[in-house]
Every structure is written in C-alpha cells, then in structure tokens.
Amino acid sequence: MYSEKVMDHFTNPRNVGEIDNASGVGTVGNAKCGDIMRIYLDITEEGVINDVKFKTFGCGAAVATSSMATELVKGKTVQEALQITNKAVMEALDGLPPVKVHCSLLAEEAIHAALWDYAEKMNIKIEGLSKPKSDIHDGEEEVEY
Amino acid sequence: MDKKIYLDNAATTKTRPEVVDAMLPYFTELFGNPSSVYEYAAQNKKVVDEARGIIGNALGAETAEIYFTAGGSESDNWALKATIDAYADKGNHIITSKIEHHAILHTCEYLEKHGVEVTYIDVDENGILKLDQLEKAIRPTTILISIMFANNEIGTMQPIKEIGEIAKKHNILFHTDAVQAFGQVPINVNDLNIDMLSASAHKLNGPKGIGFLYIRKGVKIRSFVHGGAQERQRRAGTENVPAIVGFGKATQIAMDTMEERIDIEIKLRNLLMKRILEEVPYARVNGDKVRRLPNNINVCFQFIEGESLLIMLDMKNICASSGSACTSGSLDPSHVLLAIGLPHEVAHGSLRLTLNHENTEEEINYTVDQIKEIVDKLRKMSPLYEDFTRKR
C-alpha cells in the first residue's frame, strides 16, 4: 500500500523529538480524523532553520510525511521553507495512496503553523504566510457509501 | 519469529485441509449441475442437501429452512430487503442496533432512502443492546428486528434470547447476523426465537463465497436473486457445489470440536488479556468481559493510532486488525467503538486480535512482547503522549 520511501520514513522517522525553547511550535490536525502533528523549529537570527523536530499521532503516512517535511525544511531559510508544498512532500516520498493525501496537507500546514508561531514570537510579518486554520478538515464532506 | 502469526480470524480463517479434500472432487470428476437429469449430476443434488442437513442440524433447524447464498452480506441484504417487500402491508419500520456490521447498516441506509423507517438502538459501554430502548422503539408498523449475535469488532454477544422473546411477544420477525458466532458458540434457533439467521463459511475454516440464510418455515420472504428454480425458488443460480460441500464439512468439524476449541481459545485469550493489561500502561479492553466470543480481544492503547501499530506488527510477522477491516479507507474510527462511548482519539488506537485453536502460548507471548515495544516506540513519537506526560 505504501512506497518504499514512505515505509522507510515511517519505520525510521527522521527528526523525532522536541526542542526546548523552540523559536516556533505548530500543532495541527485533530483527533477525530486520527492525525495530529506538532513541529518544533529552531531558527537562527539570520532566519535560517537550524534544527527541526516533530511528533505525530497518526497513521504510517502521517508519520512519514512529517518526517519528510522536517528533512525538506532543515537548513532552509524561512522564505524557502514557506515554498515547500504538500506536493513536494508527496513527490519526495514517491507518492501516497489517494486516501492519505490529506496527511501531506497536514505536514505543510504544520510547518506553516510553526512559522506563524515564530513570527508572532518575534513580532514580525512573514511575507506570504497567513494564519493557519485550526482544523484542516473543516468543510470536508462526509464520505457517502 | 519467522513464522506468520495469524491473529485475524474474525476477518477470515484458513480453510481446513479436510474441507479442501472434501471439496476437490466436485471441481473435477463430479462437476455436474445438480439441476441436470442424468444420474451422475443429479447426485450432486444429494450432496447439497446433505450439507444443508448438517447446517440445519447445527442450528436445531429443519433442512428445508437453510438457503445457500454467496455469503454473509448477501444473506443480510436478502433478509432486510425481502422482509420490507413481503410485509409492506403490515408496516415499514425496522429496528436494529448502532453496532451492526456494515452489511446491515448500509442496507438500512439504502432502505431509508426508499422510504423505510429505521431505528438504531444504543448499546451500553460494553456493547450490550439496551433492551428497554428496544421495547420502547416498537411501533405498530415494526416488521423486523435485526440484531447481530456477536459483534465482529469487540466480540460482545447480545442477549439474543431476551431479544427473541421481545420480538415474539410483539409478533415481529427477528433476524440475527450470526456471521461471527455460527460454529463458534452454540446456537439453537428455536430456543432463541430466531426467525432468520445469516452466516458465512469462511469464518469457520470453510471456503469463501458461500453463506446461508436460515428462514423459519412460515416466514414469507421471497427471492432476492431472480432466475432459475434453485433453493426452492428462493435463490436463483447454479449451486456452488464444491463450496456447499465444504461448508457442510466445515460445519460438521466446527460442531464436533466446538468445546475443545473454546477451551483453547479462552485460555490463550486470558493470557493475552492479562499480560497486556499488566504490562502495557494506558490500555483498556473493549467489549463485555463475560458475554464475549471466546476468541476475541479488542484493546485500545491510548495516545497511539491503530494503523501505525498494525504496520509495525506486520513487520514482526503478526497479522492483526484495527476495528473492522471494512472500515479502512474511511477516516472515521470504528462506529462500534464510538457507540460504546470511546472518544475519537482513543478509538483510533484500537487493536483487534482474534485467535483460533491453532495459536500457541509461544505465539501469544511473542505478540505481547512486540506490542509492548511498538506501543512504547509510537508513544515516544506522539504529541498526545507528550501533552499527557507534561500535565502529570
């Protein structure tokens, strides 16, 4: 069901953990749908993501997308990190089953939420970043059988 | 462990070699159509009726009250849809429960779209039907009560006798989906006032693609699959002779070995349950402790999600399930676990292990060891666990 890359990032997830006194922390998702992601960012004075950690409650795809998203933003500037889309995360993982695409959206959203938290703490405005939705599943329609 | 440990017998079971042996001749030299006139094919009518007799006997029913179908889902669909058709003059109201299999629930949803009224009765925290609510739900237009014998996810067995008595008292037909219970625990349709009962062979070490509907004599439901005159004109289609023979054989063995299998399963289940509850913190067992299928364990591990757990168990050669296999593909956690009152995030962390007589103590101990390690690993990754430990 999952690609080898997804399985690799699920079984050996990169950057699991927490960062004390992180520059920004973002938590997204909800327990109803079974996915919650939290991303911690350590950002230098020059605006470079020096370190990133994550914690995820969710399925194999949720863990793998979190892991991949943290790999993709590590070492990037805030502006570069902002450009990383869920599509990029999916491509880096060699694709996801259709029913799991929302996991990659959640990973993108988690990065944005952590950046938003950083901007608020620093009292700065990041070009192109809007306040993250509290629940990315709002407005989704029920599956009909 | 190199060997696969199969703990998903509620999903399906391994066909017994004796069953396969019994079936094989009916694919090759004895391939004839039971409806044919010539002698060697007509003999197949006899073997079909022999299997019918074995199954009828297992339920305390008459041979002529057993109708073969393609499986449990067809039987459930038939019972509900044909009852609505046949008893339309009496009413259009069905009573069922919130924890039925989707073969019942989705059929009810379909019927609701066609003007049928359905009441879904609640269950208590152990999954047992609220009988007082059932009795209050009965209307003059109620024509059918359909309540499952035993739940496929949490293993809870319903108070079938009491439900049968309520149905009889109010002159309402009573159907039960016994897919998980038939061949696993004793069932007598007369003692329990059951009018219709669905079952499937592949849950009792028989072949897939064959089931039956027991229809009590006098229940006037008609054909659901139209065509030829098979199954006394109630279910068209050339009989699946090899599968029917296999079903008969599997039923015979299931009945002959029931007591010893129950003993083995309960012993292993108790070991598994005891070790999990003693050794894994923040775990809870779902379903009734006493009124429960002998082979079922359903447990929730707080702060983790079921699919991750299943994939990691699979990598350790352990086959298990989280909620119903039919639920996967949907984002919602099991409707059964929500109906017994579990919060969403706890329901997402469910694990179902369903044993059989071939499992060993060694397998159970290995499984618990793996579960402990995996749950620990996943909790270390979980933001919910992080929040929980911070609050403490």
Q: Which residues of B touch A38 (CB under 8 A)?
A: 383, 386
- CB B169 within 8 Å of CB B79: no
- pLDDT > 80? residue B327: no
Whether residue A59 lies in the annotated active site:
no
Select the residue of A57, A60, A99 nearest B383 (Cβ to Cβ). Answer: A57
The reply to whether residue A63 touches residue B343, judged by beta carbons under 8 angstroms, is no
Decide the pairing of beta strands B196-200 and B211-215.
Answer: antiparallel
CATH hierarchy code of domain A4-122: 3.90.1010.10
Q: What are the extents of the domains in chain B?
A: 5-12+258-391, 17-253
Q: Which of A17-21, A32-36, B30-34 has the lowest mean pLDDT?
A: A32-36
What residues of chain B lie within 8 A of the CB of A99, using their CB?
A: 329, 331
Percent of chain B with pLDDT over 90: 92
Q: Indicate yes or no: CB of B305 within 8 angstroms of CB of A62.
A: yes
Q: Of B60, B103, B88, B92, nearest to B214 (Cα)?
A: B60
Residue B36 pLDDT > 50? yes
Residue B300 a catalytic site member:
no
Report pLDDT for B293.
98
Lookup: tokens for B236? 């068209």
A138–chain B Cβ distance below 8 A for any pair:
no
Rounded (to 5) percent helix, strand, coil in chain A: 40, 20, 40
Work out the minimum CA distance from B388 to partner chain A, whole angstroms.
13
Average pLDDT over residues B188-214: 98
| pLDDT for A141 beyond 60 | no
Q: Which residue of B has its CA nearest to A54?
A: B381
The chain-wide mean pLDDT, for chain B, equals: 95
pLDDT at A144: 36
CB contact under 8 A, B106 and A10: no
At A131, the pLDDT band (50, 70, 90 cuts) reads: confident
* Residue B316, φ and ψ in degrees, nearest 5: -100, 15
Q: Does B273 touch chain A (CB under 8 A)?
A: no
CATH placement of domain B5-12+258-391: 3.90.1150.10
For residues B81-94, give the mean pLDDT.
Answer: 97
The verdict on a CB contact (< 8 Å) between B344 and A31 is: yes
Which residue of chain B has the CA closest to A25?
Answer: B383
Rounded to a whole number of angstroms, the distance from the CA of B331 to the nearest CA of chain A is 6
Q: What is the pLDDT of residues B52-81, one digit of tens each?
A: 999 999 999 999 999 999 999 999 999 999
Q: What is the pLDDT, as a whole number, of residue B42?
A: 86
Tell me which fold the domain B17-253 belongs to.
Aspartate Aminotransferase; domain 2 (3.40.640)
Question: What is the rounded CA–CA span in Å between residue B30 and residue B16?
Answer: 21
Nearest residue to B346 via CA among B380, B298, B275, B389: B298
Q: Is the pLDDT of residue A145 over 90?
A: no
Which chain B residues are within 8 Å of A7, Cβ to Cβ? 311
Instruction: Say what the pLDDT of residue B323 is.
Output: 61
Q: Do A34 and B331 touch (CB under 8 A)?
A: yes
- Confidence band for B325, pLDDT divided at 50, 70 and 90: very low
Among all chains, which residue has been given the structure tokens 């309402």?
B172
Q: What is the pLDDT of residues A21-80, one digit of tens each?
A: 999 999 998 877 788 999 999 999 999 999 999 999 999 999 999 999 999 999 999 999
State how far the Cα of B299 lies from the Cα of B289, in Å rounded to an integer: 12
Ordered alpha helix ranges (H), B95-217 = 102-113, 131-137, 160-169
Residue A128 one-letter amino acid? G
The dihedrals phi and psi of B23, each to the nearest 5 degrees, come to: -80, -35
- Judge: A31–B386 Cβ closer than 8 Å, yes or no: no
CA distance A29 to A26: 10
Considering chain A, what percentage of its residues have pLDDT values greater than 90?
75
Beta-carbon contacts of B159 under 8 Å, excluding residues fewer than 6 positions away, are B128, B129, B131, B291
pTM over 0.90? The answer is: yes
Residue B312, SS3 per DSSP: helix
- DSSP bridge partners of A133: none
CB contact (8 A) between residue A59 and residue B308 = yes
Q: A139 falls in which pLDDT band (50, 70, 90)?
A: very low
Overall average pLDDT of the B43-49 stretch: 95
> Residue B91: how many CA atoms within 13 Å on its side-chain side?
16
Among B190, B191, B168, B187, which Cα is nearest to B177's?
B187
Cα separation of B252 and B261, whole Å? 14
Using CB atoms and an 8 Å cut-off, which of residues 76-115 of chain A contact chain B?
A: 99, 102
What the block records as the tokens of B308 is 């991750």
Q: Do residues B126 and B287 make contact, with C-beta atoms less than 8 angstroms apart?
A: yes
